[in-house]
Each structure stands twice: as structure tokens, then as C-alpha cells.
Amino acid sequence: KAGVTQTPRYLIKTRGQQVTLSCSPISGHRSVSWYQQTPGQGLQFLFEYFSETQRNKGNFPGRFSGRQFSNSRSEMNVSTLELGDSALYLCASSFASGSLRGETQYFGPGTRLLVL
Amino acid sequence: KNEVEQSPQNLTAQEGEFITINCSYSVGISALHWLQQHPGGGIVSLFMLSSGKKKHGRLIATINIQEKHSSLHITASHPRDSAVYICAVVLNTGTASKLTFGTGTRLQVTL
């Protein structure tokens, strides 16, 4: 079974631009979660989707948004990029419940975003 | 004060040593995860615990709900265990759940 894939793997943007990151979960997995990792703040939970619905949301501004498609693939979008958005963005999939309900998650390799 | 505290922040061990990484949290939780992150960023989920103890190979994870504490043990450590180990707790806040991460423990195992 293929693992979680994320595209692109690396991205450079400038302040004010917007960016869309993509995540394809493991086949059969319906829950997708997104995380941001920075040297200063560590890992932080962004949001979780299940069956095309956002089920949980972390403490991030409205510039961060996401969606999930009927095939469980998910995208996250960051508008009006700021320098502080430079980070590793990770997505993880699980069968149904997601990590917030105690289910094991499988992580993708991440997208490393640099905002200049 | 962070809701999740890990100790130590950095740990160096020689191959074969028994290693313990600790995670303490300040509020009630419904589950706790241990994650392993290798250089380059890839994360692997090691354990999910809500009570008791779990073992997988040389790794053992325990949790004491009353004391709000979890430990990750590595027996017979090996250089390939060198990674950052992160604990994450699921906090139930009313109608929503929140996943909060510790800052990680960087482990270096030398020959």
C-alpha cells in the first residue's frame, strides 16, 4: 500500500502570496489532519478533515484553510503569506477516527515552505 | 507553563544503554501519542496510549493517568534510534478535542 504523499515537497514564496499544499492519504483512509512545524513553536495542529467535513480546528488565523475531496485527498491553503509561515507542513491520515480520537496516524514526508 | 512538558530536552547515550524519556501534562487527557521524527522530517507514530503499558520490539510506553505522566523506554539502544521523540496529548475541551505536542526530546545514540 502506498504511504501518505504530499506535494510539492519544497516551495518558495514571497510575502503576500498564497499557497496551496496537497495531501493524498493512504488508500481507504478517510481522516486527514494537517500540522505545522517550526523551530520556535514545534508541532502544532492545524485542522482535521473527515468525509469532506472539518472536524477539528487548531488555533490558527483564518488565513489558514483547508478542504477535503470525495476521494479523501486534502488541500490546505494559506493566503497572504507572512515570513512566520515558513515551516514544515505535515499531513497525516488515519482510517476513521484520527489522532484526536486516539487512532494511530500515518504521516506524510511534509512540504517545506519558505516565505521570503 | 506548557500543557505538555518533556524531559530531557537532549539525551546522549551509548549503544546498548537503557533510555527513558518522560512526558508530563497538566490537564486531563483522553489519549497520549508518542511520535518519532528522524532527521529530514519524517514522522512515525510509535504508540497511542490511554492507560497502562504497550510494548513494540525494544520500545515500551507507559502512562499513569492519575499522575499525568507517561514514559517512553528504549531497551538496548542503537544508533538508528537517534531521532527526536515527541509526545502529544489529546485534550477534551467541552465539545471539541485539541491535540497538543511536547517540544520533543532529541536522542543521540553513539557507538
Of B48, B96, B103, Cβ closest to residue A104: B48
Within 8 A of A107 by CB-CB distance, chain B residues are 42-45
Mean pLDDT to the nearest integer, B27-41: 88
User: Residue B46 phi/psi, 5° resolution?
Assistant: -90, -50
Q: CA B108 to CA A45: how far, in whole Å? A: 27
B30–A99 CB contact, under 8 Å: no
A-interface mutation test, from B33, B44, B45, B86, most A Cβ less than 10 A away = B45
B30 — pLDDT class (breaks 50, 70, 90): confident
Decide which of A6 and B31 is more confident: A6
Say which residue the cell 493512504 belongs to.
Answer: A26
Q: Using a CB-CB distance cutoff of 8 angstroms, which residues of chain B are in contact with residue A102?
A: 30-31, 48, 50, 90
Cα A107 to the chain's mean position, in Å? 10
Give me B60's grid cell. Answer: 515500551
The SS3 assignment for A84 reads helix
Characterize B69-103 residue by residue with b for buried, 16 or more Cβ atoms within 10 angstroms of its Cβ, and e for exposed. Answer: ebbbbbeebeeebbbbbbbbbbbeeeeebbbbbbb
Q: Is residue A101 left, alpha or beta, with left meaning phi > 0 and alpha meaning psi from -120 to 50?
A: alpha
Min Cα separation A26/chain B (Å): 14
Average pLDDT, chain B: 91
Give the tens place of pLDDT for each residue, A52-93: 999 888 889 999 999 999 999 999 999 999 999 999 999 999
Question: Grid cell 512545524 — which residue?
Answer: A37
Chain A residues in contact with B33 (beta carbon < 8 A): 99, 105
Cα-based angle B6, A36, A57 (whole degrees, multiple of 5): 95
Give yes or no for B5 touching A (CB within 8 A): no
pLDDT of residue A52: 93
Statement: residue B92 has pLDDT above 90? no
